[in-house]
Amino acid sequence: MGSNYDVEAYRSALSFVAREESDLQIPEQVVQQFWYDYGPSAGTLETLEGHRLEVVSPGWWNHCAGPDFQGAQLRFNGTLFTGDVEIHLDQPCWKQHGHHRDARYNDVLLHVLLSPPTSPIPVLTESGKVLPHLTLDSLCNLERGRLRPLQDVETHPDLAPRCHGSCNRFVAEGRPEILTDFLHLSGDWRLLNKTRYAQARIAAVGAEQAAYELLARALGYRNYADTFERLARALPYDRAIQLARQAPFLFEAALLHIGGLLPRDKAAVEALPPHGQRLDRLRETHLPHLNALDISWSKVGIRPNNYPGRRIAGLSALLVRAAQDGLVGTLERLWKAHESPLELRRAFEALFPPAMGFWATHYQLDRDALPKASAPVGSGRVRSVIGNVFVPVALAQARNAGQRSWEEQILAFYRKLPMEPDNYVYKRMLPRILSDHPMRFTFQTQQGMLQLHEDWCKSNPSCKDCSLLAYLEGRARCDAT
């Protein structure tokens, strides 16, 4: 279930012994993994506040920003609640880390501590909710750096670490096709939902603007998706393609200016490298009345290669390459020119700018060069755009026009498309449902796993009364007969 689940590393951490007890510092990640492994097996517990507690599921181990575990299922005094869990070594960490001012922690149900606080104080969320506390001394012994279950795992197998979902037993029993066949169905369902959204946007704003918005959103990825879509609506497609046809870098200058990434201060502009000064001259001569949006670009947790300036440069370069026929016209031409999925994919990939020019070696206009040249849009993100934008937009158009043969070509291409880069959901789900079973993932099956998580696993990590499990068991019985 956890994306960095490593049993051997955990056993090593559990057996760690400090030279001196006074030097002891248990890593917080070890405490998190102890909660993940042994919380559901502990039976009825009691919080510091006197509430009866049963851990139905510890939740999804979150390795990104926000609470340590999300979607936990906890039964307080006989009533089941779903929410988040935050884990700290001691109670003051909640306030020291600023969680009391962070709305992302408003859904926390339980504050888990390694040991009881010496001077207990009320812990509140940003919304004013007072949190109950559980200390792990009710689950483990902590002696001279050892963090062990109260009962030995060898003699109490119910306490063994758990990382598999109930679906995993089909793999363990040698029937992985029951699960993988469902991933194909789930992947097709996810594509259908994206196609329906594309159809709705096409009906509302036209095919070119819809494709442009979806492209911008995909290049913004998770952190900047909403902001990039906002840029695409602030500078509509008709104006964008006009700028792309007028001068090579004019569209880039416009987007950077609207996004507040091109400085207006004269001294700051003079300090820019030649490419930045060229963009400023284009702005002054062609875009004197263009207003900038009020946008705050948080770069916390963002790799320099994915900074917004580089992605904007990639978007503008792609639109310049598609300027002659327009974005939708260019894509339609490529669909019709290539029947082979491999040839078509390579043609789509060729639309994206290579590792050349200023942005190949820079991550901001006013920053030093990157240590290694790279394309503004990496190969993994290119596959994401092809699968999440080019495919559903084309499928929406094929269905709107009633072109069955084109629809079949699109679906055949989709099912051959290589998977996009893995993300935290993929890493979370892979050990949960497939364990060590080898499987060659495509874009379709990867999308199926994401949809499986969204529809079933995200809200029910304990697998309790899962309707999907009942469906798969029914499929297994049918296959057996």
State the average pLDDT over residues 122-131: 94
Number of folded domains that form the chain: 2
Looking at the fold, whether 58 and 123 belong to one and the same domain comes out as yes
Residue 8, pLDDT > 80, answer no
Last residue of a domain, one of 416, 432, 453: 416
Last residue of a domain, one of 366, 398, 416: 416
**Is 459 part of a structural domain of the chain?**
no
Looking at the fold, whether 226 and 146 belong to one and the same domain comes out as no
Residue 456, pLDDT > 70, answer yes
State the average pLDDT over residues 291-298: 91
Please state, for a pLDDT cut of 90, what percent of the chain lies above it: 60
**Tens digit of pLDDT for each residue in 407-432?**
999 999 999 999 998 887 888 788 77
pLDDT at position 436: 67
pLDDT at position 150: 41
As a whole number, the mean pLDDT across the chain is: 85
Residue 435, pLDDT > 80, answer no
pLDDT at position 141: 53
Is the pLDDT higher at 327 or at 433?
327
| CA 112/CA 68 separation, integer angstroms | 10
| CA 66/CA 85 separation, integer angstroms | 10
**Tens digit of pLDDT for each residue in 170-189?**
887 888 888 889 999 999 99
**Is 306 part of a structural domain of the chain?**
yes
State the average pLDDT over residues 114-129: 88
Looking at the fold, whether 97 and 224 belong to one and the same domain comes out as no
**Is 296 part of a structural domain of the chain?**
yes
Decide the pairing of beta strands 79-88 and 108-113: parallel
Phi, psi of 362 (to 5 degrees): -135, 150
Looking at the fold, whether 64 and 125 belong to one and the same domain comes out as yes
Looking at the fold, whether 257 and 397 belong to one and the same domain comes out as yes
pLDDT at position 103: 93
Residue among 112, 113, 111 at smallest CA distance from 123 = 111
pLDDT at position 220: 93
Residues in the chain: 481
The answer to whether 316 and 382 are in contact (CB under 8 A) is no
State the average pLDDT over residues 368-381: 91
Looking at the fold, whether 88 and 222 belong to one and the same domain comes out as no
**Tens digit of pLDDT for each residue in 130-167?**
999 998 876 655 544 444 544 443 433 343 345 577 88
Please state, for a pLDDT cut of 70, what percent of the chain lies above it: 88
Is the pLDDT higher at 7 or at 212?
212
**Tens digit of pLDDT for each residue in 296-338?**
998 877 888 899 999 999 999 999 999 999 999 999 999 999 9
Q: Which domain holds residue 310?
A: 206-416
| CA 376/CA 354 separation, integer angstroms | 8
pLDDT at position 397: 97
| CA 463/CA 452 separation, integer angstroms | 12
pLDDT at position 299: 86
* pTM across the whole model: 0.77
